[in-house]
């Protein structure tokens, strides 16, 4: 018994099944790696902390996941844990603490509710080294094209931050709202989570007209990922709701089906995200 977590679950909780699942996870990882070029993979979608729905992940747990799955770094933001005032302050501080404990593994993003002190929280987080923003229009119940959302997006864009926006799973069709947001904030870099699930074709069409529209592969469908250009795609796991073995296998299958070159696959796994968070090339 080697791993303490299997497919993202606590191995101890899985009992006797853990051993078998661990070797299955090894097999999935090996299959994925066979299809993918080596590199310093960057997971662009991880939640650290404790969601009000009970999902939970600590920085130390994440780093052991990353080690097991040979992923170099992860972009991390808070789960849905807005706190009493709804401003995400405590949840954001937890992400910062994990990033300062693992500065070479964790890239901190801020999460805000556009209707609750967002601009103050964005500038506070910028002062602490955050490098991007996460918005969740479904959990925080706002429209992406609303005045508050535009203001938060503008504040992040002025800092040079990319903005991860939840798409799919309860979201309405997003191509038009996201087009409005993109037009209201020229220069904004908008990363649609879950490959724009639910409106991927409309959003892919929008991406052809707007160079600031990107997508992550976290908990996406294979068909959606295959239909998107690798130059606009970022590998993501959505830990702790998703896990790395399946996330890497999804990218491997998409690469196989879409025929991405090694260079295109490396862009998805690492280079696109590194560029958006401002790593030196």
Site of interaction with Zn ion (CB under 5 A): 238
Q: Which is nearer to Zn ion, 43 or 238 (CB)?
A: 238
| In the block, residue with structure tokens 């696959």 | 265
Name the token pair of 157: 């864009």
To the nearest whole angstrom, how small is the minimum distance from the Cβ of residue 280 to Zn ion?
27
Q: Which residues contact 217 (CB under 8 A, 6 or more apart)?
A: 195, 225, 233, 234, 235, 236, 247, 250, 251, 254, 268
To the nearest whole angstrom, how small is the minimum distance from the Cβ of residue 81 to Zn ion?
13
Q: Which is nearer to Zn ion, 11 or 62 (CB)?
A: 62
Question: What is the C-alpha separation between 3 and 57, in angstroms, rounded?
Answer: 16
Q: Which uninterrupted H or E stretch holds 96?
A: helix 89-101
To the nearest whole angstrom, how small is the minimum distance from the Cβ of residue 249 to Zn ion?
18
Question: What is the C-alpha separation between 22 and 2, in angstroms, rounded?
Answer: 8
To the nearest whole angstrom, how small is the minimum distance from the Cβ of residue 207 to Zn ion?
20
Q: Which is nearer to Zn ion, 54 or 281 (CB)?
A: 54
Q: Which is nearer to Zn ion, 11 or 125 (CB)?
A: 125
| DSSP state letter for 196 | G
**In angstroms, what is the C-alpha Rg of the chain?**
18
CA distances from 3 to 20, 31, 32, 33, 101 (A): 12, 18, 18, 18, 22
To the nearest whole angstrom, how small is the minimum distance from the Cβ of residue 193 to Zn ion?
6
To the nearest whole angstrom, how small is the minimum distance from the Cβ of residue 268 to Zn ion?
18
Contact between residue 181 and residue 145 where contact means Cβ atoms under 8 Å apart: yes
Question: What is the C-alpha separation between 161 and 136, in angstroms, rounded?
Answer: 16
Q: Which is nearer to Zn ion, 113 or 238 (CB)?
A: 238
Q: Which is nearer to Zn ion, 18 or 192 (CB)?
A: 192
Residue number of the CB closest to Zn ion reads: 238
Angle among Cα 62, 67, 72 to the nearest 5 degrees reads 85
């Amino acid at each position: 018994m080697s791993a303490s977590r299997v497919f993202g679950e606590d191995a101890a909780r899985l009992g006797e099944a853990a051993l078998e699942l661990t070797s299955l996870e090894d097999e999935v990882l090996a299959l994925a790696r066979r299809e993918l070029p080596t590199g310093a993979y960057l997971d662009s979608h991880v939640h650290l902390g404790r969601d009000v729905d009970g999902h939970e992940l600590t920085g130390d747990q994440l780093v052991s996941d990353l080690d097991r799955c040979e992923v170099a770094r992860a972009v991390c933001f808070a789960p849905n844990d807005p706190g009493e005032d709804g401003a995400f302050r405590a949840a954001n501080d937890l992400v910062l603490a994990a990033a300062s404990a693992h500065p070479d593994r964790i890239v901190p993003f801020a999460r805000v509710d556009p209707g609750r002190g967002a601009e103050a929280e964005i500038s506070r987080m910028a002062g602490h080294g955050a490098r991007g923003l996460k918005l969740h229009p479904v959990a925080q119940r706002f429209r992406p094209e609303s005045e508050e959302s535009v203001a938060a997006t503008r504040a992040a864009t002025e800092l040079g931050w990319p903005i991860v926006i939840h798409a799919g799973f309860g979201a309405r069709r997003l191509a038009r709202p996201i087009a409005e947001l993109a037009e209201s904030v020229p220069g904004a870099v908008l990363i649609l989570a879950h490959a724009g699930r639910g409106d991927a074709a409309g959003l892919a069409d929008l991406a052809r007209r707007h160079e600031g529209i990107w997508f992550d592969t976290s908990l996406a469908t294979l068909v959606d990922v295959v239909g998107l250009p690798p130059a606009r795609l970022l590998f993501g796991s959505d830990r702790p709701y998703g896990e790395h073995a399946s996330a890497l296998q999804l990218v491997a299958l998409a690469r196989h089906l879409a025929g991405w070159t090694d260079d295109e696959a490396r862009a998805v796994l690492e280079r696109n995200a590194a560029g958006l968070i401002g790593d030196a090339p």
